Chain A
Amino acid sequence: MPNRVIPFMKTKSDTTPTKDWQAMFRDWAQEAPEGPLKRYYEAGTIAMDTPLKDVPMLALDLETTGLDSRTDEIISVGSVPMDHRIIRCNGSGYWMAKPECSLNPESVTIHEITHTELEEAPRLHHIFENILEALSNKVVVVHCVAIERQFLLEASLKIYGFPLYFPVLDTMDIERKYHTKLPWWKRIIGKKPSLRLDACRQYYHLPRYKAHHALTDALSSAELLQAQIAYHMDATNDPISKYWL
């Protein structure tokens, strides 16, 4: 286990945005065991003063058997590369993984993935290297950072004995920030705004999508981030450190 304590794991989203992911990646590259994960850290990540417009991003979504990263498992992963303005379907990824434990029938109905499909899928450790490749050099875009971060960290610990970390732009966190910027009277009068992905998308007049397919959900958060950038951010002048977690 690394001795460094990761600040984001304990703090809330209003952490002072000064994390130097580039430096942290250099440290982890030293500590990680030989293999794919070490190569991932060696490839590094962008500097914290990189303006938003130059940030390579990857929208990511996981579907899991449940919400507890210690007992539940990843069953599918969807990813779409993007930047502040364009989402590129070319390069998108979708993987399914056969879980170790038997499936909970409830979660299956949520994900529209059938038992048969999962039966035929490879185990997570067989595809993890592909996921690392997709993540390499990217800032990860997710809606609600906790799930993706925890599950991938647990999985990496299981597979490599060393955690997987990555910088994140969390569209839910961004939305929370801009919603709390509402005038005080609106915050008092209005009911608490929903921060669910679908609700956030509607604030920006984005179309309704069918939820709970990893690739569609990745697309959903990708589009949401574009809208948030268009509305709230200065892609030319704002450094990534202002937003990443």
Chain B
Amino acid sequence: MTAVAQSPDAAPPPRSAFLQLVRAFNANKTSWVGLATMAIVLLVAIFAPLLATHDPVEQNILDKLKGPSAEYILGTDSFGRDIWSRVVYGARISLWIGTVSILIAMVVGSVIGMIAGYFGGKLDILVMQAMDVLLSFPSLILGLMVVAMMGPSIGNLIFAIALTAIPPFARIARAPTVSVKERDYIEACRALGYSHPRILTVHILPNIFPEILVMGSLWLATAIRVEASLSFIGLGVRPPTPTWGSMIREGFENILDTAWLSLVPSVAILIVVFALNMIGDGLRDVVDPKLKGERGG
């Protein structure tokens, strides 16, 4: 990105994955802005009970559809619930569903990709073909199907989102495994009689871990967007639990009178997804320099 990185006598890229990440961050100042924003959002989610001025599900019908005031910072919705408190608690749901589903996809996808890449052969072809089939499905449509069949609950949402995110992790874990397993030190491990699980976890995993981690941060943005989309369609966590997507949906039903209701959570989602994308923007170059500017979804 920078001129320094291009000049021939620049320092060789640092070896440690951590230093690589720091360097990517510094090359792209927006990454720091994104990281700072996400830190604030995380704090808001953690300290939601302290920041909320009201109970997010408490209805106060006499105060419905009030504008912003000292008592209700961002006004109230059509049930007289405090919008600010609902947005603050909504951050918890979004981050929780997003993070857990991506963690599951990371673990399951990496295991699948590593095993396929390590053992190769027919297993590899079969597994990766299956991943491609899954990948060819639009993630929102797949999510819709799964949640509609299983019913909307936090667990099922996490399952649906994780399912759509597994194939990309399998792919990114497989490629380096295939090249690493040919190296001499893996040969040596085999000669020493190490078991396959031991070689995979102790000797191959550390090599591919940074890339998986970076992919995780990229896909978190997508996961949060998909969760909000499903909630907006009406397949999210059941009301009255406050989620940003369902708040937008409620506001949208009366958009002519109460546009405000859907705008506040809309801005909240936008801030979080934009911040995550800013973080990912710099990191993407670490994963794959060829993928500059691209992203999955």
Decide whether A and B are members of one complex.
no
Residue ranges of B at the interface with A (Cβ–Cβ < 8 Å):
none
